């Protein structure tokens, strides 16, 4: 059964249109992510879903119930859609327990609040005040508060943005696990591709008020519809290529094609940094390159190179398992299969 | 090398405290005067005075009036602020100004206009009506500012949790504006404790009436001071209540910038809401303006001695502005001290300053007379003493405004500036003061507004021969020449309008 | 401790403003002295605290300066507030003369030993009954209490024969009084003196049952004029001042005097005294002498204050009935400092 379905949704701020025909489907129980740079309209989309911003045209349907069709709309409090805002927005005048129990009928409060405190890993903190909690704890309470009334859909508005990196990743995993455990359908809005890739079952890339592409993280990462989508999801090397049968002919040699070749002349092959191998000495088909920089990122080293061969961009990014001396020589080889993008 | 380090710390932290304590000591001097005077009344006199059944009646009068007016101003002030800030009400900017304008009408003008136009307005309900109409802007302005600056996220979360608009209003919006509401309500209730003139006109007796009777008919400062101490006790109670209410709603915000709320669509409620606001403004602004216009047109003694009008206007402006600047300057260290140190003694020092607001004007003025004639004889009946009187009377107004402004300063900016190598005084000048500047403007406007219409202290403390608009108004009304008095009252109102405009702009910021 | 100026903290902040404000502050200052009359006192400046009708006192001080060359700093205010101010100032008071509206304010200062004896010549100019018995202050002008009734009302067609009648039940709901005014306490004192304490208490109790309480004589007059109450006890001049302001067409009230001998037919004196610690004793005495002189009394008689002059030979306003036909002068000693009347009013619940 379809959880959330958004059809040809338009919305505007005053006279300036912000969303131009959004189509989005989130299956029941799935975790979806709307990914896009700031100003792309993702917050407006979220607010239309939540009921705080009117749709100008189109339809928002949740579990078969029309929430907004551009003419009439259901009040926010009648939608059963939970919301976790960026900074948590805990009610500062209420205790943690009262925050979590806010949306519950009185009779259920005690039991359900305890359950949720356990679920978000904060047992025993019910009597604390929001200002006595750390940032991560506040976000967990905000999540518990939103989950308490068992919403049909949960909206998360960059909920991890204000947290430090380590905590962000940890909490992200926790929240995803919690949501899967409770079978909640959720839409996360973010500009952080790591967050999107690790959190969601489905990602929709939003650009200038339109969905540029929607699909699974794997699909979007490896088979983006265009160069811009490719870039939004992570570092991408785009190399001029020509499709020939099941291969793409590039300056780095002939590489096996992933899927069918869409392109003709002027196509681009997408090579993620992990698909570029570096060797210190020349190997067959490798192209010499100068090392411009090498940064340690924990799990790998990001190496910036200037290839010394025609038909390649000025700079390529490779992922290596050891640091490379800056200014030194390296040899670049590509590992297929590659995805072909249409040229401009 | 521990010595220089330790000394530096002491100096950086220690300078503010003595300044703040000194300011509060000056501001609290009238309290000391009242206590000293009261001590001259013997035990027997005390028992006779306070043991009268009348005292219980007056306490009841005072408290029941304070309760009703406080509640009414809270409801009206909050309701009006909500309509203006959070709904699709047509003409919201204009309404904001109109709703704040009653502040420009001096108390005695308001009292007289009601009494002269409506015979039935007197006694308890008359006092509730007139005081509510004149004092609700003290709640409206801070609450509107809080609503405008507040983040809408908490309210949206409440809606997403299934709470309707009304439930969200009551359970989230209202508690979040509680510090602003509590501050405004405190000013209203303290004002009610010390007010005399308007109640005399409305034929309603409160504790302050008894204080004035002791001064005016008994010439008995000791008894009057004794009764004043009861008022101070009540004020202490109110200040403690406000502190409690404020603490209950301590707000922490971090990171994200507040997003303004999406205005609530009024739909069919727009007409009743507009009618309600029009009624409120009409009653609180229309009645005194109508009475003023009536006097101007009808009074046969209306002649404009332009020289005296000009002199009185200049004197009024000069003193009001002087008092406003001094009061604001004095409020900065006190507010800063309470804000930087969250400690109990720091807050206590800050709150003592509020108590003087409950002192009747005559007690404060006589305190200045008492101190100045003994220890500042060359300055007695000189302009600085009148300004000092105004500052003592209206310091709490300045303090409230500066405090509200400081609350908007993100925590940590001062430390950030210090870490960039700026000395503490320079931090104050380059970071803190610029940040609170809008609030300082509000403080100046508020004190200037109130001081320009002050009468009792002006009569007692002005340099001999000086006339302000208020004293001229008094001269003519006490001679029954309302026509001649009207131009002075009209000028007082006109002079106050820019201050009110500044207040609405300053405390609400620019258009969202 | 003379000479030791211990500025309160914060005063230094004020100093700058002081400089800026003195310019538009006092009007006295450095203007050239008017034609001196040759007295040694010319050029001196005395400070007068006055609770009297400001416009009239201003006319008096200007005339005084013209005649003597003595300049006057006039400080007008509510007489009770000014008396309280002098009490707080004590011997440091800058005041040379206190010109009050009613005797009790002067009596209070007298009791505290703050008044100097008035020059005998000055005292001789006015009837002895109009000044304080011990010569501490001199009477300057007089007014009489009277009954103001709404024209055509029952109170007007059948005015009370005595102020004591106003406590009778037939006046219930028709009467207004202003007990917090300093003018009302003397009437209470007169009743007390004439009928004794118990009768006075009964009378006040009756008044409380019958009357609406107003905060000032001005508002009481206006209430009678507008028909809010039928009538009330008031000093005669409030009627004339109101008539001047409203015009005859808008005046709907008529003045009735209580018969001579009635406690309500009280003539109340407004007087002035010299402050003992004032630095210009001679000039202050000269001012009192002037107040009790024919020219000053003429100014008072012709002014808009509608008070009666006290010096023989000076006529009051033509529309005012002759003073000696109206009543008896209240004995300042009997009026005291008003505390007894105040206690009675408080006991009756008319005052708080």
Tell me whether B316 touches chain C (CB under 8 Å).
no
- B27-31, B346-350, C30-34: least confident range: C30-34
Best of C7, C10, C71, C339 to substitute, by most chain B Cβ atoms within 10 angstroms, is C10
Question: What is the share, in percent, of chain A residues with pLDDT greater than 70?
Answer: 97
ipTM above threshold 0.90:
no
Average pLDDT for B129-156: 85
Chains B and A touch (3+ CB pairs under 8 A): yes
Q: Where are the alpha helices (DSSP H) in B195-269?
A: 197-201, 207-216, 221-248
The pLDDT of residue A109: 87
Q: Where are the alpha helices (DSSP H) in chain C?
A: 11-22, 54-68, 79-89, 103-111, 120-125, 154-157, 184-195, 197-210, 217-226, 236-246, 281-291, 294-302, 332-335, 339-347
Length of chain B: 512
Residues 146-165 of A with CB under 8 A from B: 146, 148-149, 151, 155, 161-162
The pLDDT of residue B106: 82
Residues 296-325 of A with CB under 8 A from B: none
Residue B17 has pLDDT above 90, yes or no: no
Residues 253-272 of B with CB under 8 A from A: 253-256, 262
Tell me whether B382 touches chain C (CB under 8 Å).
yes
Residue C20 has pLDDT above 80, yes or no: no
The pLDDT of residue C112: 87
> pTM to 2 decimals?
0.74
- Closest-CA distance, B226 to chain A, in angstroms, reads 40
Task: List, for residues C124-158, the tens digit of each pLDDT value.
Answer: 988 888 888 888 999 999 888 899 999 988 888 88
Taking CB atoms and an 8 Å limit, are B162 and A77 in contact across chains?
yes
Element holding B449 (H helix, E strand): helix B433-451
Residue B342 has pLDDT above 70, yes or no: no
Subunits with at least 3 CB pairs below 8 A relative to chain A? Answer: B
Taking CB atoms and an 8 Å limit, are B464 and C73 in contact across chains?
yes
The pLDDT of residue C16: 36
The pLDDT of residue A262: 56
Task: List, for residues C255-264, the tens digit of each pLDDT value.
Answer: 999 888 888 8
The pLDDT of residue B318: 93
Mean pLDDT of chain B: 81
Tell me whether B408 touches chain C (CB under 8 Å).
no
Give the burial class of A166: count Cβ atoms within 10 A of its Cβ; 0-12 exposed, 13-18 middle, 19 or more buried: exposed
Tell me whether A101 touches chain B (CB under 8 Å).
no
CB A344 within 8 A of CB A328: no
CB atoms within 10 A of CB C331: 16
Instruction: Name the token pair of C158.
Output: 């059948």
- Closest-CA distance, B51 to chain A, in angstroms, reads 43
Taking CB atoms and an 8 Å limit, are A89 and B249 in contact across chains?
no
Radius of gyration (C-alpha) of chain C in whole angstroms? 22
Taking CB atoms and an 8 Å limit, are A86 and B156 in contact across chains?
no
How far is the C-alpha of B169 from the C-alpha of B171, rounded, in Å? 6
Task: List, for residues A119-167, the tens digit of each pLDDT value.
Answer: 888 888 989 888 888 888 888 899 898 888 888 899 998 888 777 777 7
Q: Contacts of residue A87 in chain B, CB cutoff 8 Å?
A: 151, 153, 253-256
- Closest-CA distance, C241 to chain B, in angstroms, reads 6
Nearest chain A Cα to B251, which residue?
Answer: A92
At B306, the pLDDT band (50, 70, 90 cuts) reads low
Q: Contacts of residue C75 in chain B, CB cutoff 8 Å?
A: 381, 464-465
At C35, the pLDDT band (50, 70, 90 cuts) reads very low
Q: Contacts of residue B483 in chain C, CB cutoff 8 Å?
A: 245
At C48, the pLDDT band (50, 70, 90 cuts) reads very high
Residue C25 has pLDDT above 50, yes or no: no
From residue A260, how far is each of A276, A335, A341 by CA, in Å?
Answer: 22, 18, 11
How far is the C-alpha of C136 from the C-alpha of C109, rounded, in Å? 10
Average pLDDT for A30-53: 88
From residue C71, how far is each of B120, C28, C41, C56, C86 by CA, in Å?
Answer: 48, 8, 10, 17, 21
Task: List, for residues B223-250, the tens digit of each pLDDT value.
Answer: 888 888 888 899 888 888 887 776 655 5
How far is the C-alpha of C132 from the C-alpha of C269, rounded, in Å? 10
The pLDDT of residue B10: 36
At B355, the pLDDT band (50, 70, 90 cuts) reads confident
Selection from C75, C26, C76 nearest residue C46 by Cα = C75
Q: Contacts of residue B325 in chain C, CB cutoff 8 Å?
A: 17
Nearest chain A Cα to B254, which residue?
Answer: A87
What is the separation of C-alpha A64 from the centre of its chain, rounded to a whole number of angstroms?
26
Residue A335 has pLDDT above 70, yes or no: yes
The pLDDT of residue B389: 92
Average pLDDT for A68-93: 83
Residue B168 has pLDDT above 80, yes or no: yes
The pLDDT of residue A291: 92
At B76, the pLDDT band (50, 70, 90 cuts) reads very high
Apex B224 CA angle, B223 and B229, nearest 5: 95
CB atoms within 10 A of CB A282: 12
Element holding C71 (H helix, E strand): strand C71-76
Task: List, for residues C278-325, the tens digit of each pLDDT value.
Answer: 889 999 999 999 999 999 999 998 888 888 898 888 888 888 888 777
Name the strands in the sheet holding A2-13, side by side, starting at the edge strand that comes first in the sequence: A16-27, A2-13, A57-62, A65-68
The pLDDT of residue C30: 33
Task: List, for residues C84-106, the tens digit of each pLDDT value.
Answer: 889 888 888 889 999 998 888 88
- Omega before A337 cis (within 30°)? yes
CB C240 within 8 A of CB C306: yes
CB atoms within 10 A of CB A131: 13
How many cross-chain Cβ pairs, A to B, lie less than 8 Å apart? 97
Average pLDDT for A188-205: 89
- A108-117, A268-277, B145-154: least confident range: B145-154
Report residue A101: phi and psi, to 5°. -85, 0
Q: Contacts of residue C5 in chain B, CB cutoff 8 Å?
A: 375-378
Selection from A186, A196, A205, A262 nearest residue A22 by Cα = A205
Apex B357 CA angle, B14 and B126, nearest 5: 160
Give the bridge partners for B189, in sequence order.
Answer: none
Give the burial class of B54: count Cβ atoms within 10 A of its Cβ; 0-12 exposed, 13-18 middle, 19 or more buried: middle
Pairing between β-strand A2-13 and β-strand A57-62 as defined by DSSP bridges = antiparallel
Residue B466 has pLDDT above 80, yes or no: yes
Task: List, for residues B41-61, the tens digit of each pLDDT value.
Answer: 878 778 877 777 778 888 898
Report residue A33: phi and psi, to 5°. -135, 135
SS3 content of chain A, % helix, strand, coil (to 5): 25, 35, 40
Question: What is the share, in percent, of chain C residues with pLDDT greater than 90?
Answer: 26
Taking CB atoms and an 8 Å limit, are B154 and A89 in contact across chains?
yes
- Closest-CA distance, C106 to chain B, in angstroms, reads 11
At B343, the pLDDT band (50, 70, 90 cuts) reads low
At A260, the pLDDT band (50, 70, 90 cuts) reads low
- Closest-CA distance, B422 to chain C, in angstroms, reads 26
Q: CB-CB: which of B156, B178, B253 is closest to A93?
A: B178
Q: CB-CB: which of A86, A91, A151 is closest to B154?
A: A91
The pLDDT of residue C99: 94
Residue C45 has pLDDT above 70, yes or no: yes
How many cross-chain Cβ pairs, B to C, lie less than 8 Å apart? 217
Residues in Cβ contact with A136 at an 8 Å cutoff, skipping those fewer than 6 apart: A163, A167, A171
Best of B391, B465, B473, B477 to substitute, by most chain C Cβ atoms within 10 angstroms, is B465
The pLDDT of residue B199: 81
Per-residue HEC secondary structure of B40-65 comes to CCCHHHHHHHHHCHHHHHHHHHHHHH
How far is the C-alpha of C25 from the C-alpha of C30, rounded, in Å? 13
Apex B262 CA angle, B258 and B264, nearest 5: 140
Taking CB atoms and an 8 Å limit, are B478 and C245 in contact across chains?
no
Q: Contacts of residue A135 in chain B, CB cutoff 8 Å?
A: 254-255
How far is the C-alpha of C214 from the C-alpha of A159, rounded, in Å? 66
How far is the C-alpha of C105 from the C-alpha of C125, rounded, in Å? 22
Task: List, for residues C161-193, the tens digit of each pLDDT value.
Answer: 898 999 999 999 899 998 887 778 888 888 888
């Amino acid at each position: 059964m379809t959880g959330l379905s958004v059809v040809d949704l338009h919305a505007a701020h005053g006279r300036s249109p912000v969303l131009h025909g959004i189509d989005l489907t989130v299956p029941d129980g799935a975790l979806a992510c709307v990914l896009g740079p700031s100003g792309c309209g993702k917050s407006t989309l979220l607010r239309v879903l939540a009921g705080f911003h009117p749709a100008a045209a189109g339809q928002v349907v949740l579990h078969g119930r029309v929430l907004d069709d551009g003419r009439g709309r259901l009040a926010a409090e009648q939608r059963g859609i939970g919301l976790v805002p960026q900074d948590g927005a805990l009610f500062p005048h209420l205790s943690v327990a009262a925050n979590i129990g806010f949306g519950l009928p009185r009779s259920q409060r005690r039991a359900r609040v305890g359950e949720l405190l356990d679920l978000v890993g904060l047992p025993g903190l019910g009597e604390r005040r929001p200002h006595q909690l750390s940032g991560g704890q506040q976000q967990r309470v905000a999540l518990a508060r939103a989950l308490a009334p068992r919403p049909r859909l949960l909206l998360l508005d960059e909920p991890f943005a204000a947290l430090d990196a380590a905590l962000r990743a940890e909490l992200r995993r926790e929240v995803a696990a919690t949501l899967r455990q409770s079978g909640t359908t959720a839409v996360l809005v973010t500009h952080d591709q790591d967050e999107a890739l690790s959190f969601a079952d489905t990602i929709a890339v939003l650009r200038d008020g339109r969905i540029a592409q929607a699909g699974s993280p794997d699909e979007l990462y490896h088979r983006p519809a265009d160069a811009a989508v490719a870039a939004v999801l992570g570092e991408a090397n785009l190399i001029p290529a020509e499709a020939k049968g099941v291969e793409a002919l590039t300056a780095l040699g002939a590489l096996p094609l992933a899927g069918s070749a869409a392109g003709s002349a002027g196509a681009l092959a997408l090579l993620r940094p992990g698909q570029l191998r570096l060797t210190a000495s020349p190997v067959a088909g490798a192209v010499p390159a100068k090392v411009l920089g090498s940064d340690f990122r924990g799990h790998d080293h990001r190496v910036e190179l200037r290839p010394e061969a025609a038909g390649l961009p000025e700079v390529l990014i490779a992922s290596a398992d050891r640091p490379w001396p800056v200014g030194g020589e390296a040899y670049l080889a590509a590992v297929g299969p590659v995805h072909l993008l249409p040229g401009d | 090398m521990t010595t220089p380090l330790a000394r530096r710390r002491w100096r950086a932290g220690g300078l503010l405290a003595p300044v703040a304590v000194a300011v509060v000591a000056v501001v609290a001097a009238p309290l000391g005067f009242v206590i000293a005077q009261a001590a001259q009344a013997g035990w027997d006199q005390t028992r006779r005075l306070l043991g009268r059944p009348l005292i219980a009646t007056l306490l009841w009068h005072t408290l029941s009036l304070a309760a009703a007016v406080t509640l009414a101003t809270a409801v009206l002030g909050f309701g009006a602020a909500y309509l203006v800030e959070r709904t699709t009400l047509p003409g919201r900017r204009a309404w904001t100004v109109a709703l704040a304008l009653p502040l420009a009408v001096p108390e005695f003008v308001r009292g007289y206009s009601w009494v002269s136009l409506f015979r039935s307005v007197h006694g308890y309900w008359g006092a509730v009506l007139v005081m509510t109409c004149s004092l609700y802007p003290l709640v409206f302005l801070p609450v509107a500012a809080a609503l405008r600056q507040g983040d809408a996220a908490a309210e949206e979360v409440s809606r997403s949790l299934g709470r309707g608009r009304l439930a969200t209003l009551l359970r989230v919006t209202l508690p979040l504006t509680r510090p602003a509401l509590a501050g405004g309500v405190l000013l209203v209730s303290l004002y009610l404790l010390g007010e005399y003139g308007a109640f005399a006109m409305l034929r309603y007796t409160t504790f302050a009436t008894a204080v004035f009777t002791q001064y005016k008919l008994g010439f008995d400062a000791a008894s009057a001071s004794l009764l004043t101490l009861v008022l101070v006790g009540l004020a202490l109670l109110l200040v403690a209540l406000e502190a409690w209410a404020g603490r209950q709603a301590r707000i922490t915000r971090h990171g994200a910038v507040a997003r303004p709320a999406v205005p609530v669509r009024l739909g069919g409620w727009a007409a009743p809401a507009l009618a309600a606001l029009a009624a409120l403004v009409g009653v609180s602004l229309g009645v005194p303006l109508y009475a003023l216009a009536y006097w101007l047109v009808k009074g046969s003694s209306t002649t404009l001695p332009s020289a005296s009008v000009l002199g009185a206007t200049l004197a009024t402006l000069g003193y009001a502005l002087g008092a406003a600047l001094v009061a604001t300057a004095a409020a900065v260290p006190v507010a800063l001290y309470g804000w930087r140190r969250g400690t109990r003694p720091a807050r206590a020092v800050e709150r003592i300053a509020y108590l003087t607001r409950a002192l009747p004007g005559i007690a404060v003025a006589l305190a200045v007379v008492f101190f100045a004639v003994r220890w500042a004889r060359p300055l007695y009946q000189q302009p600085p003493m009148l300004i000092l009187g105004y500052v003592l009377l209206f310091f709490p107004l300045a303090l409230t405004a500066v405090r509200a402004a400081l609350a908007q300063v993100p925590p940590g900016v001062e430390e950030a500036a210090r870490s960039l190598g700026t000395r503490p005084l320079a931090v104050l000048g380059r970071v803190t003061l610029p940040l609170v500047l809008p609030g300082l403007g509000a403080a100046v406007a508020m004190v200037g507004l109130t001081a320009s219409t002050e009468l009792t202290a002006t009569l007692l403390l002005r340099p001999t021969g000086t006339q302000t608009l208020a004293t001229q108004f008094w001269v003519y009304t006490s001679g029954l020449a309302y026509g001649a008095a009207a131009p002075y009252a009209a000028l007082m109102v006109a002079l106050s309008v820019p201050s009110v405009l500044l207040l609405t702009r300053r405390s609400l910021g620019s258009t969202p | 401790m003379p000479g030791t100026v211990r500025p309160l903290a914060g005063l230094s902040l004020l100093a700058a403003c002081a400089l800026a404000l003195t310019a538009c502050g006092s009007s006295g200052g450095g203007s050239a002295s008017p034609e001196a009359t040759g007295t040694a006192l010319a050029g001196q400046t005395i400070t007068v605290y006055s609770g009297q009708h400001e416009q009239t006192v201003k006319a008096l001080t200007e005339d005084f300066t013209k005649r003597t060359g003595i300049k006057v700093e006039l400080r007008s205010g509510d007489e009770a507030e000014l008396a309280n101010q002098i009490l707080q100032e004590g011997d440091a008071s800058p005041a040379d003369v206190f010109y009050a509206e009613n005797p009790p304010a002067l009596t209070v200062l007298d009791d505290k030993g703050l008044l100097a004896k008035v020059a005998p010549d000055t005292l001789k100019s006015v009837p002895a009954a109009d000044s304080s018995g011990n010569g501490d202050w001199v009477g300057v002008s007089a007014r009489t209490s009277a009954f103001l009734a709404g024209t055509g009302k029952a109170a007007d067609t059948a005015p009370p024969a005595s102020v004591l009648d106003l406590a009778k039940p037939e006046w219930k709901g028709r009467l207004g009084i202003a007990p917090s005014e300093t003018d009302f306490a003397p009437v209470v004192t007169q009743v007390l003196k004439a009928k004794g304490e118990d009768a006075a208490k009964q009378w006040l109790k009756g008044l409380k049952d019958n009357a609406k309480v107003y905060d000032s004589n001005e508002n009481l007059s206006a209430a009678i004029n507008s028909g809010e109450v039928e009538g009330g006890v008031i000093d005669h001049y409030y009627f004339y001042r109101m008539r001047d302001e409203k015009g005859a067409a808008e005046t709907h009230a008529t003045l009735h005097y209580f018969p001579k001998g009635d406690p309500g037919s009280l003539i109340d004196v407004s007087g002035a005294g010299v402050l003992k610690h004032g630095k210009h004793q001679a000039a202050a005495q000269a001012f009192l002498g002037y107040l009790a002189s024919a020219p000053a009394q003429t100014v008072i008689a012709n002014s808009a204050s509608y008070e009666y002059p006290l010096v023989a030979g000076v006529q009051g306003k033509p529309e005012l009935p002759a003073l000696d036909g109206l009543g008896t002068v209240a004995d300042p000693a009997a009026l005291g400092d008003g505390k007894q009347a105040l206690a009675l009013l408080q006991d009756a619940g008319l005052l708080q």
